Amino acid sequence: MDKYDYDEVRIGMLGNVDAGKSTIIGVLTNGILDDGRGSARKNIMRYPHEIECGQTSSVVQHHIRCSDKLVTLTDMAGHEKYFRTTVNGIKRCFVEFAGLVIGANKGIGLDKMETSNVKGNRIYANMTKEHISLINALNLPSFIVMTKIDMVDKVLLKNAIESVKIHYRKFKQQRKVIVIRTKEDLDIIKIYYDAGNWHMPVPLFLVSSVRGDNIDILNLYINEFIKPINSYVNKRNDPVKFVIDAKYRVEGVGRVVSGIITSGTIQATVGNKSQDLYIGPVKGKFYPVKVGTIHNNYRELVPVLKAGQTGCLQLKSRNKDIKLIDNNIIKKGCIITESPNLVSNFKAEVKIFISHHTTIALNTQTVINCDGISQSAKIKSITDINTSIKTMNSTIDENVLRGGDKANVEFEFIHHPEPLENGSMFIFREGRTRGIGKVIEVQ
């Protein structure tokens, strides 16, 4: 295996606002401790307003280079008003492992806390549980980082741990929360992982970003225990598909985009030899483009990018249409591919999250988040409803979906066709109602 065949693991860091996500990411990626006033998070936050208020409002990726792989920690927004940004980031960044960050000073929030008159506690409980429901719905392997243990005594810490265990017992998925206090405790996790069972154990790490408690154990787990769940090796000879998650304008270089290549192999242009690639959808169409130079996530020049890897591409137009590359038409979520194919309608098997009590009916417009796609789609038909609601003397409306329901649904994109494929998993949302689906037919 050559040096360009490395694997990548993408971990999405979720959790409520003020749980300490950005701080623990700063500690893990920079190898420094926090001063208790946010010094670690200042090194990784992207925007001035995030540093000022101490809250992440965007999706930012940070990297840890290990001996046999590259680990990407994706910092997600925790505030309720940025939940759609978090959902979009999970799909667009192809997160395959979830790290849930919980503050030991608040725990997960029990039922009595949810009914409290203290608004902050209620929102905290709801958003933390919302993220857990999302992790379970997407069936992501996960671990928990309980931060701020330096702020609580033994009783409060015990209560916080118990609140997590109580909540996880409510789910049908058999997931076992295992508290990791020593390196020897990781041997239990290793038994599960060696057997290929990535979903059953949920290791819970008790850490302090200020004192450094158990940071070494968490680093050991991330560096040596977490492995890529989805293998992209067998997709490296398939047609190219590169999903864009950010774009830049670099002085002296031109238009640069970053993202992940989910299939195929992209070669940097050498002389007059370049791949025939297309970028889109731009206003519902694809346009010819070629890749100039390629850099990995450490700004190192590389000749090739293979399926499963992330990096940056310098774009050049193949038809001298300079405006296409230079202006702001290219958006996050666009793809670069060898064989563009767009669809307007698709059918999917869907399930509504059971925690939501509003309904979804015919002609409802929902936002579809699938890989790089984030667009509204209208529900054209609902069939084969499998409802979780039991009624005494009334029949369930055949054209309405409620929390916990499963059905086959036909969607139609509102604005323009999208490059959707059979078997793709997606999240859809309408207001406070959310669900998950799998594409079974494209039209």
Asked which of 122-136, 145-159, 274-288, 343-357 is least confident by mean pLDDT, the reply is 122-136
Fold annotation for 345-442: Elongation Factor Tu (Ef-tu); domain 3 (2.40.30)
Q: Which carries the bigger pLDDT value, residue 61 or residue 346?
A: 346
Q: Which carries the bigger pLDDT value, residue 441 or residue 319?
A: 441
End-to-end CA distance of the chain: 40
Instruction: Report the share of the chain in percent with pLDDT over 70.
Output: 89
What torsion do the CA atoms of 362, 365, 371, 372 make, to the nearest 10 degrees? Answer: 150
Whole-angstrom Cα distance, residue 146 to residue 4?
Answer: 35
Threshold 0.75, pTM exceeds:
yes
Q: Which carries the bigger pLDDT value, residue 27 or residue 443?
A: 27
Residue 349's pLDDT is 95
412-440 b/e with 16+ CB inside 10 Å = b?
bbeeebbbbeeebebbbbbeebbbbbebe
Report the chain's mean pLDDT, rounded to a whole number.
85
Cβ contacts of 155 within 8 Å, gap of 6 or more? none
Residue 266's pLDDT is 94
Residue 228's pLDDT is 85
Residue 357's pLDDT is 62
Q: At residue 117, does pLDDT exceed 50?
A: no
What's the pLDDT band for 393 if we cut at 50, 70, 90? Answer: very low
Q: At residue 2, does pLDDT exceed 70?
A: no
Cβ contacts of 304 within 8 Å, gap of 6 or more? 4, 265, 266, 267, 268, 294
Q: At residue 322, does pLDDT exceed 80?
A: no
Architecture of domain 7-225: 3-Layer(aba) Sandwich (3.40)
What's the pLDDT band for 405 if we cut at 50, 70, 90? Answer: confident
Domain boundaries, the chain: 7-225, 233-337, 345-442
Q: Do domains 7-225 and 233-337 have the same CATH topology?
A: no
CATH H superfamily, domain 233-337: Translation factors (2.40.30.10)
Residue 394's pLDDT is 43
- In the block, tokens 């139609």 appear at 412
